[in-house]
Amino acid sequence: MDLVVGPWGARPTRQQVEPEAEAQAELPTACENCGAVLRYTPGTETLTCNYCGHTTKIAARTEVVEEQDLDDALARIGDTPPPTEPVTVSCAGCGASFTFDAPLHAGPCPFCGQSVVGEPGGALAPTALLPFLIGEEHARERIDAWLDTLWFAPNRLAKEARGRDALHGLYVPCFTFDSATETRFRGMRGDVYYETRRVPMVVNGRRTMQTQQVPKVRWRPAAGTVARVFDDVRVLATKTLPAALAQRLGRYDTERARPFQLEFLTGFESERYQLGLADGFEQARLQMRRVIEGDVRARIGGDMQRINQLDVRHRDRSYKLVLVPVWRAELRFVTRTYELLVNGRTGDVVGERPYSFWKIAGAVFLGLCVLALLALAIGLAPERGYLL
């Protein structure tokens, strides 16, 4: 029997493994030099051996990432919910069978550490991905820099916080939506004008009449049509990240997404989509509507605008399902745990954080002191004049 000798000892080659699991995708299983575990190196086109450092170049795929017709997909899958069943796989490295808990479909083997990718299942499969650009060390540096900039945080937070070194690399699913929109609107345009009025005032203890310009608004009806083409409106299709943090995670350059390749998942976990396609487009539609409202206000013009009616029509709708990279960490400080996320492309950090009661109380006290000094200064100033 052919054996491959690695740092954990001899193990059978992939040809001798008899998987007793569901269908799964093929991955480069081991270093060709020593047989140890391979891992994708962020920001490169290579897999690196965790044991000997040998690198293996990832073969580039040149095909174009194509958008999928949204209306056809909705007609085909209807209200089919996202997949929730566990994924059972067999490790090609050690032959062990195990199960990924939903929503995971890829990650390291718990027995030998080899990367394993199971078929995601469900009605939709990712067709593209954005590989990690930010490596683990860089992500730690970004977290440390973020901690140093937190206002009203306890002084000892950056030194005593624990857990930021235990970073967890994860690919999460993201829908992108395209749509050509045409919107009919009705509203009101407000133009500010001024009327001259004479009002009584007291100046240096004497009553007098002063001239003032009083602002008024003249409203008139407005109606018309605006058009806008939306490209790659992004909606994260994950429910495992805290929603409040995921919304602030920053922009992903999905316009640069590359065809889906298993090699880029090596050494990381990956999730299946947890948000239905129709629900995803509904979230994208709300994002588009906010932009359209800005277009309508610009078209109405004037100094003020009121929007009474919007009739938005979508055509040429399309989508794609992209895997995007995130680093996760749990920051432990005193008795609480705070979640941190790092955008695996830009390095942007968002997270929960503790606040210092004493710093906030001190800031409030200082603000009250400043207001009191201003009030005192105004009270001591010579009387200039006031309205009756």
What is the SS3 string spanning 144-212? HHHHHCCCCCCCCHHHHCECCCCCEEEEEEEEEEEEEEEEEEEEEEEEEEEEEEEEEEEECCEEEEEEE
Strands 206-236 and 168-203: antiparallel
Determine, yes or no, domain membership for 21: yes
Distance CA 310, CA 306 (A): 11
Determine, yes or no, domain membership for 47: yes
Distance CA 388, CA 384 (A): 13
Determine, yes or no, domain membership for 198: no
Distance CA 53, CA 33 (A): 9
Which helix (H) or strand (E) covers residue 297, if one does? helix 277-300
Phi-psi region of 265 (alpha: psi -120 to 50; beta: other; left: phi over 0): alpha
Determine, yes or no, domain membership for 280: no
Q: Supply the pLDDT for residue 78.
A: 82
In terms of residue numbers, what domain contains 24? 1-60+84-119
Determine, yes or no, domain membership for 375: no
Determine, yes or no, domain membership for 345: no
Give the N- to C-terminal CA distance of the chain in Å, as an integer: 104
Determine, yes or no, domain membership for 113: yes
Structure tokens at 362: 């001190």
Q: Supply the pLDDT for residue 20.
A: 41
Q: Supply the pLDDT for residue 201.
A: 81
Q: How many domains does the chain have?
A: 1
Structure tokens at 230: 């939306």
Structure tokens at 132: 């990690």
Q: Supply the pLDDT for residue 146.
A: 85
Distance CA 202, CA 214 (A): 19
Distance CA 25, CA 120 (A): 9
pLDDT-flagged residues of the chain (< 70): 1-29, 152-165, 353-354, 356-359, 379-388
Q: Which pairs from 146-152 meet CB under 8 Å and 24+ separation?
A: 146/340, 146/349, 146/351, 150/353, 152/355, 152/356, 152/359, 152/360, 152/363
pTM given for the model: 0.81
Structure tokens at 12: 């059978």
Q: Supply the pLDDT for residue 160.
A: 60
Determine, yes or no, domain membership for 247: no
